[in-house]
Amino acid sequence: MMRWEASGLDTLEQQVDRWIAAHEEELLGDIRALVRHRSVSLRGEPGFGPGCRDALREMLSLGARYGLETEDADGLFGVLTLPGGPRTIGLWGHLDVVPEGDGWVYSPYECTRVGDFLIGRGVQDNKGPCVAALYALRCIRDLKLPMRSTLQQLVGCAEETGMEDAVRYAELHPLPDYNIITDCGFPVCYGEKGMLSVRLETEAVLPPFVLDFSGGSVANIVPDSAFLALSPDGFAPSLLEAPCPPLTVERQEDRILLRAAGLAAHAAFPEGSVNAIGVLCGALLQAGLFTGKAQRLLSFVHDLCASTDGSALGIACEDGESGALTCVCGVLRFSNGRVELELNIRYPVTADASLLRSQLLQRCGQENVLVTSFTDSAPNYQDKRSVFVRTLNESFNEITGERLEPFVMGGGTYARKLPNAVAFGPGLPTELSPLALPAGHGGCHSPDEAQSIPNLLLALKIYVLSLVRLDEALEQENAGESH
């Protein structure tokens, strides 16, 4: 857990510390109540499905219990309000979760406490943080801290499936003047790269002895497995005798399966990953199983997956604010001899999406590859010198004793769908080794998703003190502008 230093807010800090200590067990119990709902968002269903509806009702019930005004906004968001002045500061989070998947050591929806950790789907992303933000408003209300701003917490149910909830809410309802997304790491994320979702389709050039070809399941994850199924008649026996590492070869009744393994990572942070599709294509090229157009196709897919900078598509670029473009081929499907690829591209905040599209179309045209879908989610970028960003960042550093700078990331939060929005915590560096979990467990979308309790309590303190400081700073800025 990070430490905090004494500051000019000593008396207030002591009050907040005592309040948090007195309410810790209650806070953990409220997180457990939310985690018990399997709130996987379902597109096209009212309220995004029964699990999300139940979680939203639970959250609104908590808000009402703690003295906040509550509203179910068309099943899109729950809105919890602590009334103040005409200026509004919003805290945004989400109650929907990714599916739990397999391989858990602990029950995904029981919210198990292990030492100083909670384990369960959503404890980190994003139910635990939602409860921390709720308790920040509750603390401010209970301590009767003087606020000139109205504070709102807005909790959605479709963040993990494309943020349709935020888009529709923004069309139908007034938005806060300042928007803070509690679904990131500290300190302040003042920008998010643009996102391109691209689908490619190749010509039917693979020979008939290819029965199946597949890798990955979602576009925004570097795939850790891929396979090719061949008919025995078309297979080169030499590959069975001397398999090309790192392939594994399995002979079945009517086919031979070639499998490749990789190392998964989120498409926003692909550094250190290994794309299993690229591994498979590289081994097939090395084995010499294909010639002509089929060989050229495999070479194109291999190059696309072997790096994550977009150079294979002619779109590599970077800027000083947000770093380099990343490009991940997350899914490969096969049908009637054709290969379909799904790409997830995160581009710098100063890059031109239309230029990237033109460059991509040109490169794919050279390979006779068709671009069947191209969707752009524009970057989010705020002035890091603004009172909004500067106050939050300075508050974090003062409370923790750190000297961190605001940052830009490749990930995506509600901030990209909202005006005047930044992401601010609650993520803090966490050492999971005390849990002795298997490799790959403990992350926000992983089995045995884990949340450090001390870190979440520190985040709660940061939120309370930062909201007080932001309210004061905005009032001073407004007073200066009026003179």
d(CA 380, CA 189): 10
Which CATH number fits the domain 195-377, given the four candidates 3.40.50.720, 3.30.70.360, 3.40.50.2300, 3.40.50.300? 3.30.70.360
d(CA 426, CA 327): 27
CA atoms within 13 A on the CB side of 356: 29
Is the pLDDT assigned to residue 242 strictly greater than 60?
A: no
Is the pLDDT assigned to residue 3 strictly greater than 60?
A: no
d(CA 240, CA 244): 9
Tokens of 196: 């391109």
Is the pLDDT assigned to residue 355 strictly greater than 60?
A: yes
pLDDT, residue 482, reads 60
Is the pLDDT assigned to residue 416 strictly greater than 50?
A: yes
H/E element holding 445? Answer: none
Whether 195-377 and 10-193+380-482 are alike in CATH topology: the answer is no
Is the pLDDT assigned to residue 2 strictly greater than 90?
A: no
What does the pLDDT look like over 214-238, one tens digit per residue? 999 888 889 989 999 999 876 665 5
How is the chain split into domains, by residue range?
A: 10-193+380-482, 195-377
d(CA 21, CA 12): 14
d(CA 267, CA 197): 11
What does the pLDDT look like over 262-293, one tens digit per residue? 988 889 889 989 999 999 999 999 888 899 99
Is the pLDDT assigned to residue 101 strictly greater than 90?
A: no
Residue 379 gets the label, from left (phi > 0), alpha (psi -120 to 50) or beta, of beta
| Topology (CATH) of 10-193+380-482 | Aminopeptidase (3.40.630)
Q: What percent of the chain has pLDDT over 70?
A: 95
pLDDT, residue 252, reads 87
DSSP letter at 47?
A: G
Question: Which of 12-21, 256-265, 369-378, 454-463 has the weakest average pLDDT?
Answer: 256-265
Whole-number Cα distances in Å, 253 to 85, 229, 231, 256: 73, 12, 10, 8
For the beta carbon of residue 237, count every other beta carbon within 10 angstroms.
8
- Laid out side by side, the sheet with 450-452 consists of 112-114, 117-119, 450-452
Highest-confidence segment of 126-130, 162-166, 227-231? 126-130
* pLDDT category of residue 244 using cuts at 50, 70 and 90: low
Which residues have C-beta within 8 Å of that of residue 121, sequence separation ≥ 6?
35, 38, 97, 98, 100, 108, 109, 449
What does the pLDDT look like over 292-328, one tens digit per residue? 999 999 999 999 999 999 999 999 999 999 999 999 9
pLDDT, residue 158, reads 97
pLDDT, residue 238, reads 54
pLDDT, residue 137, reads 99
